[in-house]
Amino acid sequence: MIESLKHLPQAAAPDSELSAQFTDLAPALTQRQAAIEAARCLYCYDAPCMRACPTEIDVASFIRNIHDGNINGAAAGILKQNIMGGACARVCPTEILCEQACVRNHDAEQRPVAIGLLQRHAIDNATFASHPFQRAASTGKTIAVVGAGPAGLSCAHRLAMLGNDVVVFEAREKAGGLNEYGIAKYKLTDNFAQKEVEFLLQIGGIEIRNGFRLGDNLQLRDLHAQYDAVFLGIGLNASRQLGLTGEDAPGLTAAVEYIAALRQADDLSTLPVPKRAIVIGAGNTAIDMAVQIQRLGAEDVTLVYRRGPESMSATHHEQEIAKANFVRIKTWAAPDAVLLDDDGRVRGMRFERTRMEDGKLTGTSAFLEIAADAVFKAIGQGMEPAALSDQMSQQLSRDGEKIRVDGLFRTSVPGVYAGGDCVAPGQDLTVQAVQHGKLAAIVIHNDIQSRLEAA
C-alpha cells in the first residue's frame, strides 16, 4: 500500500475485470500477418532504419530472415545487438526512431513497415535449444555492476560473453529496473520483464545480489578495491519535487511509485483508486500514469503541463493513447498550490496560466483550480542523494545530477564506468540504456586486457 494514498477507496471492479484493461497495447502479429508485413520491407542496402536504431540492429536483415522463415536467425541477429530486444520491441518509441526513418513512411503510403511488431514476432517465436551466445574463454576477471536495470544487465551480459565473471548489485527484490517497475502494465504483460532477465542470465557467469543499495549498504570505494572494474547503471530513482507547501499531504505521490505498486500487485482490486486524479508532467511516464489510473476506474483524469503540446516529451503516439483513454490534457498551466481539505488531505490543485514571452516561460497571474482526490507527480527523476555520498563517489565529475562520462563511458575515477539514465548524454530511453551497457562492457573488457598486456 502506498502510504500517502491509504485513505482512498480501493478499486471498485474485481481483479478479473481490471486485468482485462491491461492486456497488450499492441497485440502480437500472427504468422501470416508477420509474413505479409515482412514482404513490405524493401531491404534497403543503406537502411535508414538501422541508422535510426540506438542499438544498431540490422533491421533489413532480420526482416528478410522473417520473410524467409528463418525466425531463429532473425532473433539471433536482433539479440546480438540488443540482448533486451524483446522488451525494446514492446516499449521502444519506434514511431520516432526506426519506423520514422522507414522509406515507406512517406506522404503517399503513410505507413512504415511495422518494425517493432516484427522484432517482437522474431523474439517471441524463436526456439533456441540453448542460449544463442557462448562465453569466451575465462579471463579470470570479475566486474561489479551496480543496478540491474537495462544498462546494468546489458553490460553484465556482454561482459560475460567476453569471458568475464560479473556480480550485479541491485537494491530491489527483482532485477529488471525500469522494465520491471516503471513501464505501463499494458506495454509489458505476462511477467515479460522477468522472463527476459532469466533468458539473459542463461549466458552464465552472472550473479545477481539483491538488497544492495549504493550509498547505504554498498560503497563505491569497497567495490573499486574488490573488483577489477565497476560499472554504474544506477538510474535516477528520486522523484523531483514541486517545491510547494502541502507536497507531503495525503493524496499526493510520485507517479513512479504508483506504477511500481501497480506492476507488482497480485490483485489489482486492492489498489487505491481516486475518483478524480491529476497527473503533472508531459513525458511518457505521465501518460502511463494517467492512462492506467483511468483504466483502474478513476472517473476524471487530467494531465497538466506548464508548456504547450508541441513541447511535450511524450511522443505523439503516446499522446493519442491518452486521448483514446479519455484523459483530459491541459497545457500552459504551472502548479501553483496544493489545495487541502479540512483533514489536511489533497482536494485539488491550483495552477497558474502560462505563456511564452521573449522566449521565456512566464506566468500570467490568471489561475485555474482543478478538483482531485489524488495528484501524481511525473516531472522527472533525479539522483538519490545518498547514492553518491561516499568519498570515492564524490570524486565522480557530474553534469548537474548526472555522472559525467567520456565517449567510452569512463568516469573521472579510473576503473569506474557508467551508463544509462544516470549519465549526462542521452534520451532516457530503454533502448539507449541497453546500448550504453553493451558499449561500456566492450570498453571495460578492452581496458582490463590492455592493462594486463602493459604489465
List, for residues 231-254, the tens digit of each pLDDT value. Answer: 999 999 888 999 999 999 999 999
- Ordered by where they begin, the domains of the chain are 31-125 (1.10.1060.10), 142-237+383-454 (3.50.50.60), 239-381 (3.50.50.60)
The total of other beta-carbon atoms located within 10 Å of residue 366's CB is 11
376: its cell numbers? 501524481
CB of 65 closer than 8 Å to CB of 71:
yes
pLDDT for position 40: 95
Residue type, 381: Q
Note the pLDDT of residue 426. Answer: 62
Give the number of other CB atoms < 10 A from CB of residue 129: 6
Helix (H, G, I), strand (E, B) or coil at 71: helix
Positions of the chain with pLDDT under 70: 1, 426-427, 455
Q: Torsion angle, CA of 145/284/397/172, rounded to 10 degrees? A: -30
**Pairing mode of beta strands 229-232, 142-146:** parallel
**pLDDT for 34-78, tens place per residue?**
999 999 999 998 899 999 999 999 999 999 999 999 999 999 999
Amino acid (1-letter code) at residue 114: A
Q: How far apart are CA 241 and CA 256, in angstroms?
A: 13
Backbone angles phi, psi at 366, to 5 degrees: -105, 140
Non-local (6+) Cβ contacts of 301 within 8 A are 276, 277, 278, 279, 290, 293, 294, 326, 327, 328
What pLDDT was estimated at residue 428? 76
Q: Count Cβ atoms within 10 A of the Cβ of residue 402 and give its class: 0-12 exposed, 13-18 middle, 19 or more buried.
A: middle
| C-alpha of 156 from chain center | 18
d(CA 415, CA 218) in angstroms, rounded, equals: 17
| Burial class for 98, CB neighbours closer than 10 Å (0-12, 13-18, 19+) | buried
- Percent pLDDT > 90 in the chain is 90
The closest of 409, 383, 380 to 240, measured between CA atoms, is 380
d(CA 194, CA 263): 12
Q: Give the pLDDT confidence score for residue 24 in this predicted structure.
A: 93
Residue labelled with grid coordinates 573488483? 227
β-pairing verdict for 402-403 and 398-399: antiparallel
Dist CA 96 CA 315 (whole Å) = 8
Nearest CA-CA partner of 404 in 422, 386, 389, 391: 422
